[in-house]
Amino acid sequence: MASQQPLILQKPLDQTLSLKEYRRLGGYEALNKVLKAYTPQQVVQTVMDSGLRGLGGAGFPTGRKWSFIKKEAPFPRYIIANTDEMEPGTYKDRLLIQHNPQALIEGLIIGGFAASAEKGYIFIRPAYEQGARILEKALEEARQAGLLGKNILGSSYSLDLVLHRSAGRYICGEAKGLVHALEGKRPHPNIEGHLAGEGLWGQPTIVNNTETLSYVPSILNNGPEWFQNLARSNTAAGHKIYSVSGRVRRPGCVELPFGTPLCEIIEDQAGGMQPGYEYKTCLPGGASTRFLPKQHYAIEMDFDSLARLGHGHRFGTGSIIVFDHKTCLVGAALNLIQFFARESCGFCTPCREGLPYLRDLLRRIEEGDGKDEDLPALKSMAGHLSHAYCAFAPGAAAPVLSLVEDFREEIQEHIAQKGCPFRQDFQDGQENSH
């Protein structure tokens, strides 16, 4: 039986755990153990054995990422927590840092030890200024307690942690873009060279998602098998913070085993749909995943289950945006593309030109000027975005492709009726929401 016990989210969620409270819950025991009895390679192996995967969307195995920094790699080395989180619908890291900042700090120190890093950063977006202030306080508490700085807990390991405030741009969440941003350069992505070899200032660097790092202490505390066994599905490991938003009764974040069925998360945790609304679809993992057709309502929420559906379905960040039967998906896709078109760094042509083109097509359809030939044009242009330089544009295309492939009739209705068939319902819905 998988554990339902939260690991990094304790109750009540709207309070910040102090260092004292975190320690009472077993916090920093893992760091103490690591510094006393582990080599960096043993830490990497433990995390690798646990099956922990990157929770920022890509799902890359964390231990493997850490193993890319070889023993003979040059110094200095860096570790960075990515708290940029700008994907619409995704807000798990905000809740996490406001509620349990010490879990992130301990995870960063252990990850830093594994990489033999001497300096670490928490890269945070400006919309999370409240969280940044909490982290500043938490970092100071940790410093005062000898958990940061020179000779941590009396060991030979030293790590300096810096909170780096960003000025806000979606592409900063991409690892190389983030590194450029930290270097005070324009944060364009760069797919050449690996961060483990050429990261911050050209030195070996690890960039991990905030949630991913926050799970590291509990893995070292309880062992890799324990973490593996927390998941409900066979091919996944551990827990996950699912953030649920949209037309549900109780939107919020909840920590559950990987592989918890979507229907359980929506109904049991988020209280089901708001009165008068029926479930139509969801984006299961944030704005750059596909709309999930209704027949998959009971799917196990993990990386492999979504990937097995094929057609580009992805688990993403596990941030579920729920759409009801009165909400227009053409309008939703238009909103998403407007966001991505605005946030594109403009570095490469498919993204710079393709996203505004898609936006204009969707806008025409939504406003009643759509034509039959717009449908194949949407599909073809969204498909071309896979030729962009980085993953930003293909991610942006995902909801549009699923709109064309799985909810085609909504587009056709717009074209046939020369307008949005949901508009009246939609307006009614908005009035009800206030």
Q: How far apart are CA 126 and CA 133, in angstroms?
A: 11
Our CB check for other proteins shows the closer of 216 and 321 to be: 321
Our CB check for other proteins shows the closer of 129 and 372 to be: 129
Q: By CB under 8 A, is residue 228 in contact with other proteins?
A: no
Our CB check for other proteins shows the closer of 52 and 322 to be: 322
Contacts of 184 (CB under 8 A, 6+ apart): none
Residue 369 sits at φ, ψ, to 5 deg, of: -105, 15
Stretch that binds other proteins, among 4-12, 298-306, 328-336, 379-387 (CB under 8 A): 328-336
Q: In the range 251-270, which residues lie near other proteins by CB under 8 A?
A: 251-253
Beta carbon of residue 306, minimum distance to other proteins (angstroms, whole number): 19
Rounded to whole angstroms, what are the CA distances from 280 to 292, 374, 386? 9, 24, 27
Our CB check for other proteins shows the closer of 44 and 124 to be: 124
Rounded to whole angstroms, what are the CA distances from 116 to 71, 82, 153? 9, 19, 16
Our CB check for other proteins shows the closer of 201 and 424 to be: 201
Q: Figure out which of the listed residues 130, 144, 234, 349 binds other proteins, where binding follows CB under 8 A.
A: 130
Q: By CB under 8 A, is residue 407 in contact with other proteins?
A: no
Q: How far apart are CA 382 and CA 400, in angstroms?
A: 7
Our CB check for other proteins shows the closer of 37 and 167 to be: 167
Q: By CB under 8 A, is residue 78 in contact with other proteins?
A: no
Contact assessment for residue 292 and residue 299, using Cβ atoms and an 8 Å cutoff: yes
Contact assessment for residue 354 and residue 385, using Cβ atoms and an 8 Å cutoff: yes
Stretch that binds other proteins, among 101-109, 159-167, 289-297, 309-317 (CB under 8 A): 159-167
Q: Figure out which of the listed residues 241, 332, 351, 411 binds other proteins, where binding follows CB under 8 A.
A: 332
Beta carbon of residue 18, minimum distance to other proteins (angstroms, whole number): 20
The continuous run of DSSP H or E covering 144 comes out as helix 129-144
Our CB check for other proteins shows the closer of 109 and 254 to be: 254
Q: By CB under 8 A, is residue 64 in contact with other proteins?
A: no
Beta carbon of residue 130, minimum distance to other proteins (angstroms, whole number): 7
Task: Quote the distance between the C-alpha of residue 410 and its chain's center.
Answer: 29
**Interface mask toward other proteins for 183-202; x: CB under 8 A:** xxxxx-------------x-
Contact assessment for residue 231 and residue 115, using Cβ atoms and an 8 Å cutoff: no
Q: By CB under 8 A, is residue 177 in contact with other proteins?
A: no
Task: Please compute, for residue 167, the number of CA atoms within 13 A of its CA located in the half-sphere on the CB side.
Answer: 7
Q: How far apart are CA 312 and CA 289, in angstroms?
A: 8
Q: By CB under 8 A, is residue 89 in contact with other proteins?
A: yes
Q: Figure out which of the listed residues 143, 165, 296, 363 binds other proteins, where binding follows CB under 8 A.
A: 165
CB atoms within 10 A of CB 66: 23
Q: How far apart are CA 119 and CA 111, in angstroms?
A: 11
Q: How far apart are CA 73 and CA 422, in angstroms?
A: 58
Q: Figure out which of the listed residues 115, 195, 230, 321 binds other proteins, where binding follows CB under 8 A.
A: 321
Rounded to whole angstroms, what are the CA distances from 26 to 7, 20, 29, 91, 266? 11, 10, 6, 26, 31
Give the number of residues written for the chain.
434
Contact assessment for residue 330 and residue 426, using Cβ atoms and an 8 Å cutoff: no
Rounded to whole angstroms, what are the CA distances from 246 to 266, 296, 319, 334? 10, 18, 11, 17
Q: By CB under 8 A, is residue 61 in contact with other proteins?
A: no
Q: Figure out which of the listed residues 25, 48, 73, 127 binds other proteins, where binding follows CB under 8 A.
A: 127
Q: By CB under 8 A, is residue 104 in contact with other proteins?
A: no
Q: Figure out which of the listed residues 8, 103, 345, 393 binds other proteins, where binding follows CB under 8 A.
A: 345
Beta carbon of residue 181, minimum distance to other proteins (angstroms, whole number): 8
Beta carbon of residue 166, minimum distance to other proteins (angstroms, whole number): 6
Q: How far apart are CA 80 and CA 44, in angstroms?
A: 16
Q: By CB under 8 A, is residue 166 in contact with other proteins?
A: yes
Q: By CB under 8 A, is residue 178 in contact with other proteins?
A: no
Beta carbon of residue 197, minimum distance to other proteins (angstroms, whole number): 18
Q: Report, in angstroms and rounded to the nearest whole number, the Rg of the chain calculated over CA atoms.
A: 22
- Contacts with other proteins by CB under 8 A lie at 85-91, 93-94, 125-130, 133, 164-170, 181-187, 201, 243-247, 251-253, 283, 287, 319, 321, 323, 327, 331-332, 335-336, 338-339, 342-343, 345, 430, 433-434
